[in-house]
Amino acid sequence: MESLRQQLLKVRIMPVLIVQSEEEALSVCDALAAGGIHAVEITLRTAAALDAIRTVKRERPEFCVAAGTVRSVLDMEKVATAGVDFAVSPGFSPALSQAASELGLDFLPGVSTPSEIIQGSECGHQCFKLFPAEAVGGVPLLKALASPFSGVEFCPTGGIGPHNYRDYLALPNVLCIGGSWMVDPALIRAQNWARIEELSRECMSGAQLA
Q: Please determine, for residue 187, whether its predicted confidence score (pLDDT) is greater than 70.
A: yes
Instruction: Decide if domain 4-204 falls under CATH 3.40.50.720.
Output: no
> Quick one: average pLDDT of 127-136?
98
What mean pLDDT is predicted for residues 84-104?
98
Tell me which residues are annotated as active site: 41, 129
* DSSP-derived secondary structure letter, 113: S
Report the alpha-carbon angle 173-146-127, nearest 5: 45
pLDDT of residue 147: 97
Domain spans in the chain, listed from the N-terminal domain onward: 4-204
208: confidence class by pLDDT, cuts 50, 70, 90: confident
Band of residue 2 on the pLDDT scale cut at 50, 70, 90 = confident
Confidence of residue 124 (pLDDT cuts 50, 70, 90): very high
Q: At what angle do helices 49-59 and 73-82 cross, to 10 degrees?
A: 30
Sign of the alpha-carbon dihedral angle for 104, 122, 155, 173? negative
Q: What is the pLDDT of residue 1?
A: 58
Confidence of residue 170 (pLDDT cuts 50, 70, 90): very high
